[in-house]
Amino acid sequence: MALDVKIDLKDRRILYELCLNARASSSFIAKKVGLSSQLVDYRMKRLEKLDVIQGYYSCIDISKVGYSIFKIYIRLQNLSKEEEEKMINDLSQSPQITWVAQCDGAWDLYLVVWAKNVFSFNETFKEINNKYSYYFSKKSIIANTTISQFTRKHLAPEIKMRDYSKLDWLGEISEVELDKVDYQILLTISLNARFSEVEIAKRIGSSLKTVRYRLKKLITQKIIFAYRPFLNGDLLGYKNYKVFLSIQSLTPEREKKLISYLNTHPYVIEVIHCIGNWEIELEIETPSIESKQDLIRDLRDKFTDVIREIQTMLIYKSSKYDYLPSGLKEIQEKLKD
């Protein structure tokens, strides 16, 4: 943890409750952590001012609105720091690219692309490749199939407080028909998951009754499946890694045991099933290289019959992370209706 940022046990409890539900009221969190709601509000504002909490986002299942996730991992060559910054800035302007991250390890650059189908993705990929392939020494394209999201157990102040629930999302496209008001609500709450229903109604120019009904429906339809804080890992003393697992054999029974093991591990926050050069991708948050290596050794020991190869990548800087890109053509068309 950064020496100039002092976070006590009560702060950690507040952060953990927000990780479970960033939309939880101050009074609800106050009961959980043993403070008054006024003190919870004060501490949250302090954590925001210190940049420990960088925002609050809504987790949106994009398969429910007709999109799939494709990822491009790139190893770079032949470019200066200035050329790299210019390229990253340009890539960040694309509405189809929702995450642009600089990395260390197996890959140097990581791009997440939202697309309606593989043909739509290919148009975006060709545009990127035609413009910047001179700088790419190696590329890997991965398509996500399903994702299991775990709680940030490493932030729980005590082991007994850890929540072992998981949320499964993505999967087969099952597009739900949404109108302009639905998208206005989604775009607004994706900017700040803690906006009240009154604030959302004010921002989109709709009635409170309409917002309350539509928001409840979006949750029932599982388009919105969670609310999370966006935390500054550097100030909290952890680093964000991707761990790529190439699978040699995975029976349903061994898969169940693997997922169960990963869910009990304090540093694993997401398991992604993929199609591409590897079959499973882990997102982890660890306080040290040693703790990351301990996880990898444990995986090799416990699942030697399952895992063929393990690679890792550190994500050290995100230039763009868009939870619901308003610039996508299909969303723009809905907003004009």
Residues 310 and 239 in one domain: yes
pLDDT of residue 3: 41
Quick check: is 281 in a domain?
yes
Quick check: is 72 in a domain?
yes
User: Predicted confidence band at 97 (pLDDT cuts at 50, 70, 90)?
Assistant: very high
Quick check: is 255 in a domain?
yes
Residues 240 and 122 in one domain: yes
DSSP 276: S
Query: 267 is in which domain, residue-wise?
Result: 63-152+233-321
Quick check: is 169 in a domain?
no
pLDDT tens digits, residue range 156-179?
A: 988 999 999 999 999 888 878 999
Residues 100 and 238 in one domain: yes
pLDDT tens digits, residue range 213-225?
A: 999 999 999 999 9
Distance between CA atoms of residues 157 and 320, nearest Å: 30
- Has this prediction a pTM greater than 0.85? yes
Distance between CA atoms of residues 71 and 186, nearest Å: 23
Residues 100 and 72 in one domain: yes
